[in-house]
Amino acid sequence: MSKEIKGDHKHLTLSDRVYIEQALIRGENFRTIAKALGKDPSTISLEIRKFVEWDDGRLALKPGNDCIHNGTCDKMLMCPRACSSKCKSCFFDHCAHACSHYEPYLCDELKSPPYVCNGCKVIGSCHASQIYYRAEDAHKRYRTLLSESRAGINMTPEELKELDEFISPLIKQGQPLSHIFSSYGDVLPCSRKTVYNYLDMGIFTVKNIDLPRRVRYKLRKKRRGENPVKYAYRNRRTYKDFLAYTEMFPDYEVVEMDTVKGSRDSGPCLMTLLFRKSSFLLIFLLPSCTQRAVRDVFDKLYDLLGPTVFKRTFRVILTDNGPEFKDPWSIEMTDNRKRRTRVFYCDPYKSNQKGRLEKSHEFIRYIIPKGRSMKDLTHEKVRLMTCHINSVARDGLNGKTPFDLAELLLSEKVLTSLGLRKISPDRVILKPALLKK
């Protein structure tokens, strides 16, 4: 590549090709043309040699005696026309169309740049076969080649089978393609978009329905207006207060809190805590969705981690206005009335204010579908689910897992005390079958 002319790495347009054709007629060399178009001279050379055309119109006006075998050729009756003349002197048909041994005589000028007859000064008196570069025809052929190169499957049946055997079992385990490509993208022979295309074409064992994200979302419910009643539990704990507090202490980790319920019965439910900076999710099994059950979790965490680690880990908590969270004093204070954290509340009907946690709940729903009872859950099963969810690589974390960041941002005591461990990428399962083991 020329060091003086840096290409822009873009495909040639019809306008570029028209300029090349006109420049060739003017007798400009490849370097001059390349400089005007912002391309490398080799690009111009390849373009011309790839899309040259024989002058078929001129061949029809002259006999077929421009073959290099003209002097020794005695072939006759190469076409259906019955005649006694040798084919090389025929004025009705050309050897290029009738004889498989035809080889045109080429002018010596065509063996060097510009490789075409555009701009030749002796073209009118030349008896050799002529080659031209024509912009419109070249662009049509280019568009055809581009379309054909992007059509179909660019893999052998063996390669496609190997890819299917690698990807399909992982998708059946509930793994999203973002996790698969974050973990194995360097060894997979194609891009994520190509895999989506193959799934659309139905050539894999798994189908689109097996992908958790390829579903139709329900229509959003119309938001209701904010309740004008002022509740005591929200005093100095509104979302506006939260923004002011985090602006004052920007280094504090924000923990989003919510619950995930099973069927409509009043049985067990899950309480979730998500660390914003790492997307690391903690899940706890509650015997009932009550204020007392929520307080018991925080009391247990406080005793397990100790005052220092707990206060450093859970400085700020943002939650919604669910009835189980309407006793902020029991969460913020210890039994001897010492502050251990601060609780703030989202605006009513504004779940997007803790959207990262809401988004993470979909991983739980892959394993525990909505409406399914949680009576059979145990603390050990919930811990296993927590490990698998936090071991899924995320696009939003630049291909890392929440575990990877939690090991850097959270105290090691948090992970060890709760018995959490990272799952290897190929063993991650996000299906109900995970809890049936």
pTM for the model: 0.65
Token duo for residue 150: 């992007």
Token match 């009705």: residue?
92
pLDDT at 59 over 50: no
pLDDT computed for residue 217 by the predictor: 53
Q: How many CA atoms lie within 13 A of 75 on its CB side?
A: 18
The 8-class DSSP code of residue 124 comes to G
Q: Which amino acid is at 211?
A: L
pLDDT at 216 over 90: no
Q: Which amino acid is at 172?
A: K
Distance of alpha carbon 145 from alpha carbon 240, whole angstroms: 58
At a CB cut-off of 8 Å and minimum separation 6, what does 362 contact? 212
pLDDT computed for residue 264 by the predictor: 67
pLDDT computed for residue 221 by the predictor: 61
pLDDT computed for residue 382 by the predictor: 95
Across the chain, what does the average pLDDT equal?
85
Task: For residue 170, name the pLDDT band (cuts at 50, 70, 90).
Answer: very high
CB of 116 within 8 A of CB of 78? no
Higher pLDDT, 224 or 296: 296
pLDDT computed for residue 378 by the predictor: 94
The arithmetic mean of pLDDT across residues 93-100, rounded, is: 68
At a CB cut-off of 8 Å and minimum separation 6, what does 338 contact? none
Token duo for residue 224: 């209701």
Distance of alpha carbon 219 from alpha carbon 302, whole angstroms: 41
pLDDT computed for residue 401 by the predictor: 95
Q: Which amino acid is at 243?
A: L
The arithmetic mean of pLDDT across residues 422-430, rounded, is: 93
**What DSSP line would sit under 176-216, residue for residue?**
-HHHHHHHHTTT-SS-HHHHHHHHHHT-SSS-GGGSTT-SP
pLDDT computed for residue 67 by the predictor: 74
Token duo for residue 337: 């009335």
User: Could you give phi then psi for residue 151, rounded to 5 degrees?
Assistant: -95, 155
In angstroms, the first-to-last Cα distance of the chain is: 60
Distance of alpha carbon 236 from alpha carbon 243, whole angstroms: 11
Task: For residue 8, name the pLDDT band (cuts at 50, 70, 90).
Answer: low
pLDDT at 61 over 50: no
Distance of CA 287 to the CA centre of its chain: 41
Nearest to 305 by CA among 282, 279, 278: 282
Token match 């450093």: residue?
312
The arithmetic mean of pLDDT across residues 277-283, rounded, is: 95
pLDDT at 62 over 50: no
pLDDT computed for residue 15 by the predictor: 93
CB of 389 within 8 A of CB of 281? yes
